[in-house]
Amino acid sequence: MALDTQVLVNGGPPATASRVNDLAFKIGTVNGTGSASANGLLRSAIFRMGIPVSGKNLFPSNIQGLPTWYEIRANRDGHTARTARFDLIVAMNPATYARDVEEVTTGGWVMHDSSWPLPRDLNRDDVHFLGVPLAKMTVDNFEGSRVRILMKNICYVGALAALLDIDMEIVRGLLKETFAAKAKLLDANFLAIDLGYDYAREHFDCPLPVHLAPMDGNEDSIVIDGNTAAALGCVYAGATVAAWYPITPSTSLVDAFTAFCNRFRKDPETGRNRFAIVQAEDELAAAGMVLGASWAGARSFTSTSGPGLSLMSEFIGLAYYAEIPAVFFDVQRVGPSTGMPTRTQQGDIQFAAYASHGDTKHIVLFPCDPRECFDFAVKVFDLADRFQTPVFVLTDLDIGMNDWAVPKLEWDDSYRPDRGKVLSAEDLEEASGAFRRYLDVDGDGIAARTLPGVHPDGAFLTRGSGHDRYGNYTEDSEPYADVLARIGRKIEGAAPHLPAPEVRLREGATIGLLTVGGCRGAVLEAVDELAEQGVDVDYMRVRAFPFHPDVEEFLMDHDVNFVVEQNRDGQLRKLLITETRVDKDRLASILYYGGYPMSCHHVIDGLAST
Amino acid sequence: MGGGGGRGGEPVAICRLKRVASDLRDDIRPFLPDIPEEKNGKRIACVGAGAASLTVANDLMPLGYEVTIFEKLAAPGGLMWTNIPEFRLPAKVLWEEIEYITDMGVDLRLNSPVDSLAALLEEDYDAVFIGSGAPKGKELNLPGRWDSEQVHIGIDWLESVRFGHVESCGDRVLVIGVGNTAMDCCRTAQRLGASDVKVMARKTKPHFKASPWELEDAIEEQVEILENHSPSKFIVEDGQVKGMVFDLVSWHEGEGGRLKAEVHDSKVIECDEVILAIGQDTAFPWIERDIGIDFNNWDMPIVDKTTFMTSRTGVFMGGDAAWGPENIIWAVEHGHQAAISIHAYCHGESLTDRPAEGMNLVSQKMGLHEWTYSNDYDEAERVKMRHVDLQERFKRLDIEVEEGFDIEQSLTEVERCLNCDAQTHFETDLCIECDACIDICPLDCLTITHNGPEEELTGRLTAPLLNPEEPLFISEDLPQTGRIMVKDEDLCIHCGLCAERCPTAAWDMRKSDLLIPYAGLDAGEVHPGMSIMDLAGAGAR
Amino acid sequence: MTHIAKPRIHHPGLARNRLGLTRRDYEGPMSTLCAGCGHDSITAAIIEAFWELEIAPHQVAKMSGIGCSGKTPTYFLKEAHGFNGVHGRMPAVTTGAHAANHELVCIGVSGDGDSLSIGLGQFAHAMRRNIDMLYIIENNGVYGLTKGQFSASADYGTKAKRGEVNREHPIDPVLLALNLGASFVARSFSGDKAQLVPIIKGGLRHQGFAMVDIISPCVTFNDHRGSTKSYEYTRDHYNELVQADFVPPAQEITASYEAGDVRTVTMHDGSRMRFRKVPEDYDPQDRDQVYAYIRDRQRAGEIATGLLYLEEVPPDGEGTHFHGIQGTVDEPLVNYPFEELCPGAEALEELQRRFR
């Protein structure tokens, strides 16, 4: 196709007022071109400048050749949720030029590769076009197509550093750290970064009115993605067995677990592994392996996403009914069915709460960011062991795979796992034959369990078929109902022991704004924005299911509660209606389920339209 | 108890289990046979109202006989009444059971000793049954025997206690003899206030005549039993027993296998009273020797062991009277047999052609997993009878010591039964050699293997043969492989699991019932109104 | 009686093993399977094997799926933990249990429906991973609990009880196992304990996946004329191709055989399998030849049985079994104290420098 092209000239869009440390920009590239490291470099540099920052990777379900974007938001107030208002776009992918150009806010900038002309129809009068001959510069300076592709990315980092006033020393420092062992690559990177930087300095007014400046907002923060943090939590919780089946967006959790285990769990003498990680043939098997390992006494987990959870629900029911601790990380993606595997959603809330057939109900934790992923990854094993049941950690693609600046992870060395009621050989010796697997001895709904290989008196047959309180097979009404009722009591009884909701109250507010998980940032930003507009709302973020008693209390205290979540059907709202006493008329939904992380404007717009 | 296999221990306590049934009974009268209003015209006289005579009456009354029992004492029961202390057999129980019989319309004449059999025979009875027991305690004619009044004959002494003529005894009592009467005597003496009771035995424990459980009971009551003490004389001063001299003996097998005593020493044992319980004799001063009843050299009437008839036709004899003391069970059996004979005699039939015992063999399968009997064989020891507390029981003479089994005990004791009446039965043609029976048999008594010479074959059994005396069961060639099914009968506990797990019913459990005839009833037959169906109806009423 | 109890009494001469246990101590409660079910005979063989190997019952993990076979672990080793999971998923649960504690002696009992239909994938992958377990398929060619439908192992042309003829080709677990690299492959018959017990013992001692397919006639739905999985058909077409004895490590081989007639294979723990009466042109350690041979016997209408294939122990001693591949420590993972698993606060601080 012959393009009707022209060299776009920096025309006369509206002047932009100066804005420091409050900006968002977006880089549109093609996946498989190595842009991820360049984008990470940018995000890290901004972080090291002390500015609160987030990086969100919008990538396709594809290996090579399809569009991918990286969004960076830096905000001095810490509002780093996704925003749809981009001050600057780096349009590196001709296939998405049109939509990329369209997304820039009025008065914003489009940086593009000016090695060849941009299509004429992309012209927009209200934005500035910044052409940098990236391809030409890399062709002139580097040999080999792979290197050229990579260096082109570094080149735009250099240009952006100039435009946004990113500290070049920090950028160089990061490159040094990355290529410490590869001097040749380091030189190439230094060259590329300077090419971009110098070009921008020479050709544009640098910095732009919207730019960055060093501050001290990240002193006790780190940048980490949720999957990595969760994996680290599993290591710290003492998990030794992981079984999984690769699925986006959960794969990197087990990858990280593997890496951490290799770092922390090698036997110092033999170099052998104090862990076992099994890549299963499917999620059915992965769940089965988790149950088997937990049953045998190991802390064990799997990591999956919606489609995997669907397959696992057979074993989830077994774990629930046979009372086997099991930990499931569900990094949610867009459903139903295959849906959009690389987009984010909170579509598994209801499913996780009641996964599997028959009367089941599960403990579910909803972390909001990587920091909570770490904390909950430890907590979840204690809960699974304590309540002898499957427990879910529901994160999502945004939390799991994107880079978040969060407070540093903390660890208390006095922590010891709560393994719940597990009888030792000595306990069994003392009980002299009195152990019965499903007998609730102390009235809390939790019966003691035993591990295989420990003591003959501990033996029992774990089964998913009907059993009585003594662990014997039954098809009789009363003994069956007796056990099922107790399990029900046990799960209900867990509620007060689960993380309480996060609540922020404002004087005189009568409206409640509720949310869950990764929507936190967008909702808190909305709360602040509403306050600026003179509307006071109270905020609550649900952190676990079954709901903590405080959740119901909050709902009852407000005339109307808006439930902000990322799915079509208002799944959290439905759960609240089902599981609390609150009248459903007092619960309204604010929903967004398009696959990108929730933004503040979704909340404000949603609120305005109700 | 059937089978060997080391399943030792005592037999099932049938007596105690029967007592459980009895203790839990409701009114049983509806289940008793009807007594014909119209009599058959035959009159029978019984001498003595003990177990044997009562049995004769029990068997004959339902057939229309008129039975008269002559009893010298004021109450029926014979030695069950006079000699068995109430702490063992409460009078209430005894009276009730006797009444079931006497209420059939028996003409019971108390305080009516028969002084002359000849006279009785004059009275034109169609038959006479003599069940007068062995009422004469054996004497011990040793120096000093007759010098004191504190030397008693056991059964007479027990009778005196029963009738209240004796209400106390000395502090130190020696009981001579170690049979059941001796046990009753020593335990009675304790209840009358003796504090030091010794049972003096000439031989060692294996030779004691008392039933093991009666020995146990006496020992439990702290009676001392001294072995190898053979009495040689009484020490009496001024008509007062002071003690006895015993030879201390040991026993050796002499000529002909008889034990012979060797005296080592002698010993004086002090006492205040002596009770002789060394046996009983019959006594027939009232039977004239010229009325056709022959006596043997020991002055015992000659009684036919099959027909129970004496040498005089129409005169029958049973119980202790016939061949000397035995137990009550025997006396009852004698009564049954004598009744059969009397019935035949009165109808002019042969007395020697005894009615045949019957047998039936019936599969015990009632449905899937349902069998007629409980197979849960329990290897437990025999259940111990609960006894009244030692202090408590000595307070009165009539406190029954045995309290009977409770439900738990009964259930345990019942499961000790080896169910020898239920036997395995194998149908070769049905076997598919699935091994189910082999796998399930708790005693490993089954084997499927190739045929071979017996000696070699026994080496190939699932479990070693323990009793080569007991022949193995060996089947015909099995249909699929031509191997054989072998069963070591000696080990079998009749649990029936082979049959239970057999898919083709090649194994079955079949129960053999021994059916016993009674007077006027063929084996297995019951009196009108007493069939199982009738009884169920009666229960419903 | 209206319920069945197995009296506790046993043969007075019943031997005790070195643990002081009799064979009866390895039993479980009474089977609730149909009388005459082949599975019960397999249970008896399992009991015998465990007793003879002197394995403490509580060191065993009894794993099963769903179906008649799934019930059987109840009926042996009452002092062992059991896991009667979901249909066709026993291999996964066993994998997990074994990963957590490789000292557990894992025995999985499955059926033809459980392994060859709903659980074919897991069955295959457990072999691929060479999980250290004895995997028994109680193979009767039918679904019992759902009343007699053909299973995936039903032979072509076999007749159902109601008369219909099977026109689908069977999945043969032995051929499949040989294909997928199983390191111990056997076929036996519930009615032949003399063959079965040594195979089970060998399978329990084998390091890696021991697959034992056992023809186990269903007396209720598949023991009729026209069935190829009946007692009678199996016996008529039985070919005990290989006779194998199990010889524990310490024991000397005393019986003498003609040279060339016997072949002894030593397993990783020093136990030996001694093959007797192997056909001349048959090598139980040559996977390809075994495959071809069994196919050939099948075409001839024979059911070739015995310990058909046994992989040589790899010379490096590391083993190709699950834990060898995983590179796991010798100590079972469940035994590690938390202190040795958690890196601690200092390490976390150090690590987080990378995240800035």
Residue of chain C minimizing CA distance to A411: C345
Mean pLDDT of A122-139: 92
Which residues in chain C (272-301) have CB-CB distances under 8 A to chain B? none
Domain A224-407 architecture: 3-Layer(aba) Sandwich (3.40)
Q: What's the fold here for domain C23-326? A: Rossmann fold (3.40.50)
Q: Subunits with at least 3 CB pairs below 8 A relative to chain C?
A: A, B
Radius of gyration of chain A (CA): 27
What is the predicted pLDDT for the residue at C256? 56
Annotate C302-333 with b (16+ C-beta within 10 A) or e (fewer). Answer: ebbbbbbbbbebeeeeebbbbbbebebbeebb
Model confidence band, residue B415 (pLDDT cutoffs 50, 70, 90) = confident
**Domain boundary assignment for chain C:** 23-326
CB-based contact, A111 to chain C, within 8 Å: no
- Contact at CB, C86 and A452, closer than 8 angstroms: no
Inspect the interface and report whether the beta carbons of B442 and C217 lie closer than 8 Å.
no
C199, C113 Cβ separation under 8 angstroms:
no
> Can you tell me the mean pLDDT for B390-413?
89
How far, in Å, CA of A386 to CA of A209, rounded? 56
Strand order in the sheet with B240-253: B229-237, B240-253, B259-270
List strands edge to edge, sheet with B507-515. Answer: B358-363, B507-515, B422-426
Which has the higher per-residue pLDDT, B157 or B375? B157
Interface check B7 vs C, CB under 8 A: yes
Q: Is C89 within 8 Å of A452 when comparing Cβ atoms?
A: no
In this prediction, residue B541 carries a pLDDT of: 37
- What pLDDT is recorded for position B533? 58
Confidence of residue A33 (pLDDT cuts 50, 70, 90): confident
Q: Does C43 touch chain B (CB under 8 A)?
A: yes
Residue C340 contacts residue A274 (beta carbons within 8 Å): yes
Tell whether B498 is within 8 A of chain C (Cβ).
no
pLDDT for res B531: 66
On average, the pLDDT of chain B sits at 90
Partner-chain contact C9 B502, CB within 8 Å: no
**Residue of B366, B434, B504 to mutate for C, most C C-beta atoms under 10 A:** B434
Higher local confidence (pLDDT), B541 or C196 = C196
Assign A52 a pLDDT band (cuts: 50, 70, 90). Answer: very high
Q: Tens digit of pLDDT for each residue in B241-256?
A: 999 999 999 998 888 7
Interface touch B5/C3, C-beta < 8 Å: no
For B481, name the nearest residue in chain C, comparing CA atoms only.
C235
* Percentage with pLDDT > 70 across chain A: 98
Is C98 in Cβ contact with A453 (below 8 Å)?
A: no
A423-462 confidence digits (pLDDT tens): 999 999 999 999 999 999 999 999 999 999 999 999 999 9
Model confidence over A534-575: pLDDT tens digits? 999 999 999 999 999 999 999 999 999 999 999 999 999 999
CATH topology of domain A502-608: Rossmann fold (3.40.50)
Does the beta carbon of C223 lie under 8 angstroms from any beta carbon of chain B?
yes
- Give pLDDT, residue B253: 85
Taking a contact as any Cβ pair under 8 Å apart, which residues of chain C between 116 and 135 contact chain A?
121-122, 124-125, 129
> Which subunits count as partners of chain A given 3+ CB pairs below 8 Å?
C
Cβ contacts of A404 on chain C, cutoff 8 Å: none
- How big is the B-C interface in CB pairs under 8 Å? 110
Find the helix packing angle between A600-608 and A520-532, rounded to 10°: 60
Which residue reads 């003490």 in tokens?
Answer: B229
Cβ atoms within 10 Å of B411's Cβ, excluding its own: 15
Q: Does A466 touch chain C (CB under 8 A)?
A: no
* pLDDT per residue as tens digits for the range B81-140: 999 999 999 999 999 999 999 999 999 999 999 999 999 999 999 999 999 998 889 999
Reported as a single tens digit per residue, the pLDDT across B151-183 is 999 999 999 999 889 999 999 999 999 999 999
CB contact under 8 A, C193 and B375: no
Judge whether C80 is closer than 8 Å to chain A, CB to CB: yes
Chains A and B physically touch (3 or more Cβ atom pairs below 8 Å): no
Mean pLDDT of A12-35: 86
User: Structural domains in chain B?
Assistant: 32-134+282-346 (3.50.50.60), 137-280 (3.50.50.60), 361-377+417-515 (3.30.70)
Other C-beta atoms closer than 10 Å to the C-beta of B108 total 21
Chain A residues whose CB is inside 8 A of the C57 CB are 456, 459
Asked if C96 and A462 come within 8 Å (Cβ–Cβ), the reply is no
Chain A contact probe: residue of C66, C69, C83, C120 with most A CBs at under 10 A? C83
Determine the average pLDDT of the residues in A136-165: 95
What confidence tier does B42 reach under pLDDT thresholds 50, 70, 90? very high
Angle ∠(C190,C193,C196) on CA atoms, nearest 5 = 80
| Contact list, A233 vs chain C (CB under 8 Å) | none
Output the CA angle C44-C49-C51, nearest 5 degrees.
95
- Helix spans in chain C (H): 38-53, 68-71, 90-100, 112-116, 120-129, 173-180, 193-205, 231-236, 287-299, 322-326, 344-352
Tokens of C355: 């995240």
Q: Hey, is the C-beta of B491 within 8 angstroms of any chain C C-beta?
A: yes
Q: Are B519 and B67 in contact (CB under 8 A)?
A: no
- Across the interface, of A238, A241, A450, the residue whose CB is closest to C338 is A238
pLDDT score of C98 = 98
- The full set of domain ranges for chain A reads 5-211, 224-407, 425-496, 502-608
DSSP class per residue in C42-53: HHHHHHHHHHHH
Q: Which residue among C82, C328, C356 sits closest to A272, beta carbon to beta carbon? A: C328
Mutate to test the interface with A, among C26, C30, C86 (most CBs of A within 10 A): C86
Report the candidate in A278, A330, A285 with the shortest Cα–Cα distance to residue A303.
A330
Could you tell me if C35 lies within 8 Å of chain B, comparing CB atoms?
A: yes
A contact residues 170-229, partner C, Cβ 8 Å cutoff: 218, 221-224
Q: Residue C323's closest chain A neighbor by CA?
A: A276
So what's the pLDDT on residue C12?
A: 86
**What class, spelled out in words, does domain A5-211 have in CATH?**
alpha beta
CB contact under 8 A, A292 and C98: yes
Can you give the pLDDT at residue B254? Answer: 80
The yes/no answer to whether this complex scores an ipTM above 0.90 is yes
Contacts of A287 in chain C (CB under 8 A): 92
pLDDT at B143 over 50: yes
For the cut 80, the answer to whether the pLDDT of residue A6 exceeds it is no
Do C8 and B442 make contact, defined as CB atoms within 8 angstroms?
yes
Q: Which chain A residue has the Cα nearest residue C62?
A: A461
Each residue's pLDDT expressed in tens, for chain C with a length of 356 residues: 445 678 888 888 899 999 999 999 999 998 999 999 999 999 999 999 999 999 999 999 999 999 999 999 999 999 999 999 999 999 999 999 999 999 999 999 999 999 999 999 999 999 999 999 999 999 999 999 998 999 999 999 999 999 999 999 999 999 999 999 999 999 999 999 999 999 999 999 999 999 999 999 999 999 999 999 999 999 999 999 988 999 998 777 665 555 456 888 888 888 999 988 788 889 999 999 999 999 999 999 999 999 999 998 776 656 689 999 999 999 999 999 999 999 999 999 999 998 98
pLDDT reported for residue B8: 59
B488: closest chain C residue by CA = C11
Residue range B481-506, pLDDT digits in tens: 999 999 999 889 999 999 999 999 99
User: A201 in the Ramachandran plot: left (φ > 0), alpha (ψ -120 to 50) or beta?
Assistant: alpha
Contacts of B440 in chain C (CB under 8 A): 6, 40
Chain B residues whose CB is inside 8 A of the C35 CB are: 436, 500-503
Q: How far apart are CA B52 and CA B131, in angstroms?
A: 6
What's the whole-number average pLDDT of chain A?
94
Reported as a single tens digit per residue, the pLDDT across A265-313 is 999 999 999 999 999 999 999 999 999 999 999 999 999 999 999 999 9
How much is the pLDDT for C316?
63
For residues A411 and C348, is the Cβ–Cβ distance under 8 A? Answer: yes
Query: Would you say the CATH fold of A224-407 matches that of A5-211?
Result: no
Which residues in chain A (395-434) have CB-CB distances under 8 A to chain C?
Answer: 408-413, 415-417
Using pLDDT thresholds of 50, 70 and 90, give the confidence band for residue A11. Answer: very low
Tokens in use for C228? 């190829």
Output the pLDDT for position C3. Answer: 57
Residues 408-437 (B) with a CB less than 8 A from some CB of C: 432-436
Measured between beta carbons, the chain A residues lying within 8 angstroms of C350 are: none
Across the interface, which of B5, B432, B435 has its CB nearest the CB of C193? B435
| Peptide bond between residue B206 and the one before it cis (omega within 30 degrees of 0) | no
Q: List, as one string, the DSSP characters of B459-518.
A: TTSSS--S-TTSPPEEEEE-TTT--EEEE-GGG-----HHHHT-TTSSEEEEEEEEE--B
Averaged pLDDT, A579-593: 96
Q: Is B444 in contact with C14 (Cβ distance < 8 A)?
A: yes
Is the pLDDT confidence value at B535 over 60? no
What pLDDT was estimated at residue B513? 84
Averaged over B395-399, what is the pLDDT?
86
CA–CA separation, A180 and B47 (whole Å): 126
Q: How many residues does chain B have?
A: 541
Of the partner residues C80, C101, C344, the one whose CB lies closest to the CB of residue A297: C101
Q: Return the pLDDT at B538.
A: 47
Q: Which two tokens stand for residue B334?
A: 């004698």
Total Cβ atoms within 10 A of residue B378:
18
Q: How much is the pLDDT for A122?
A: 82
**Which residue matches tokens 């490993």?**
B444
